[in-house]
């Protein structure tokens, strides 16, 4: 790994992640398999994660903050290929610009029944994003330190039903649901 790309990357991170093969072998209850990319970059002082804010007029998960990714297409070699393809389609991140470090624990979405397989990739800072006008309203680059500080269990109302769930808030950006579970796994693996 190129040291200039990993100035703030904890030495233990690649070793604390699941291997791609081990993650792909895990079975997750859920009807539809999906792959997401957890893009990380270092600005020299700290790590940042890249998220998308979905358009508010989408049928599924409108206006929510998520990692770039989506449903596995028939014919794709695996869910890592799905995550890389989706990141390219959604935010213009070329697959060859991602150094895959490993994977996180797969999780499922409760309401929509997706089995989400997250893959962690290191990218260069100061990317020029090209947003998919059909899916993405905004790209968010948030420091892991700010995300960790913004953690709380909050009461949310979803489809008229109150739930208490893990959340991360940075400014007016609220991350919850499967994305929050993926983020918790990442932060737990990174440690202090």
**Structure confidence by residue, pLDDT tens digits, 30-84:** 679 999 999 999 988 789 999 999 875 666 656 689 999 999 999 999 999 999 9
Domain 3-144, CATH class in plain words: alpha beta
What pLDDT is attached to residue 159?
63
Q: What is the pLDDT of residue 110?
A: 76
Domain boundary assignment for the chain: 3-144
Please report the beta strands in the chain, taking only residues with DSSP state E, as ranges in sequence order. 32-42, 47-54, 65-66, 69-71, 99-103, 107-108, 114-122, 136-143, 151-158, 161-170, 173-176
The predicted model scores a pTM of 0.90
Q: What are phi and psi of 60, to 5 degrees?
A: -110, 130
Tens digit of pLDDT for each residue in 132-142?
999 899 999 99
Is residue 117 within 8 Å of 34, Cβ to Cβ?
Answer: yes
CB 37 within 8 A of CB 121: yes
pLDDT per position as a tens digit, 142-191: 999 999 999 988 776 666 767 678 899 999 999 988 999 999 999 999 87
| Average pLDDT of span 78-105 | 97
**C-beta separation of 25 from 109 below 8 A:** no
Residues of the chain with pLDDT > 70, as a percent, come to 85
Q: How many CB atoms lie within 10 A of CB 173?
A: 16
Angle at 143 between CA 139 and CA 144, to 5 degrees: 120
**pLDDT on residue 3:** 39
């Amino acid at each position: 790994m190129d040291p200039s790309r990993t100035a703030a990357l904890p030495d233990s991170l690649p070793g604390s992640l699941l291997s791609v093969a081990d993650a792909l072998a895990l079975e997750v209850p859920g009807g539809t398999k999906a792959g997401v990319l957890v893009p990380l970059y270092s600005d020299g002082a700290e790590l940042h994660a890249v998220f998308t804010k979905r358009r508010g007029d989408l049928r599924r998960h409108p206006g929510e903050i998520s990692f770039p990714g989506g449903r596995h297409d028939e014919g794709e070699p695996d869910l890592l290929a799905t995550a890389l393809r989706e990141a390219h389609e959604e935010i213009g991140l070329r697959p060859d610009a991602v150094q895959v470090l490993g994977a996180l624990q797969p999780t499922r979405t409760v309401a929509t029944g997706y089995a989400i397989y997250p893959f962690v990739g290191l990218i260069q800072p100061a990317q020029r994003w090209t947003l998919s006008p059909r899916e993405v309203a905004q790209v968010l680059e948030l420091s892991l330190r700010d995300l960790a500080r913004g953690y709380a269990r909050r009461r949310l109302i979803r489809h008229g039903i109150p739930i208490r769930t893990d959340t991360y808030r940075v400014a007016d950006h609220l991350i919850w649901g499967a994305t929050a579970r993926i983020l918790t796994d990442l932060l737990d693996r990174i440690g202090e």
